[in-house]
Amino acid sequence: MLLNKIAQARKTFEEYREVDDQLRQARKVNLFSQSAKTEINKIKGTLGSYHALHQMDNEAFPKKDFSYEIKKLESVLKTGLKTMSRDELMGFSRLFKSLDDDLKMKWTIYAGNKNKDIIGLLESLENIVQNPQDIRQLISELKTFEKKWPVTPATINRYNDHFNSANKVISEMNASTGVQDFITRVATNQATVEDLTDEVIVWLRTKQLTNKLVIKFR
């Protein structure tokens, strides 16, 4: 009878140890699954940014061959989470991290170059428009997009809306290229009397800005 109790206790202990091992394995898989989900979301963000940028400007962000990455993904899916190591997952993620870094850098440069001229003109107009605070806000928002990452189609749509708003402000000033050059020179303290062409004077009078222009010796 005692032997039966010992045998039963041993069986119960072995069953407990087996269940405990399964729980440990389940927790391990769950933690790995959460890590995998995080990495996959990062990859989805990278691919989403690539697609949005390519759709916006396929010359600045040309089509990329993802055949190598697809083969790696197929290998990952074939292996499965239970037998995959974290190093294998991170190795796959690094493929897209490189793409993400490259796209982010290119977007920052792209948006910065696109913003440069129009922000410069807005800054020049800031002192002569009736609503300078709106101009400052628009400039700030345009600059914000240079550092925004990842980007989505909605992000790019908002950026384009702000860019179009900036163009509208400039368009409403009815400033020709010559007048724009004059405004820029005034803003940088480089304007001289020789810059006061007939075209510029007519524009200043039309916009009732002659009282804002001060002439002095350097």
Cβ(181)–Cβ(209) under 8 Å? no
Q: Of 39-43, 111-115, 195-199, give the lowest mean pLDDT range.
A: 39-43
Neighbour tally for 16: CB within 10 Å: 10
Q: What is the pLDDT of residues 62-120, one digit of tens each?
A: 988 878 777 766 766 666 555 666 676 677 778 788 889 999 999 999 999 999 988 98
The C-alpha atoms of residue 76 and residue 36 are separated, in whole angstroms, by: 11
Q: What is the mean pLDDT of the chain?
A: 80
The C-alpha atoms of residue 187 and residue 185 are separated, in whole angstroms, by: 5
pLDDT of residue 131: 82
**Residue 3 or residue 154, greater confidence:** 154
Using a cut of 0.85, tell me whether the model's pTM lies above it.
no
> 20 falls in which pLDDT band (50, 70, 90)?
very low
What is the distance in angstroms between the CA of the first residue and the CA of the last residue of the chain?
113
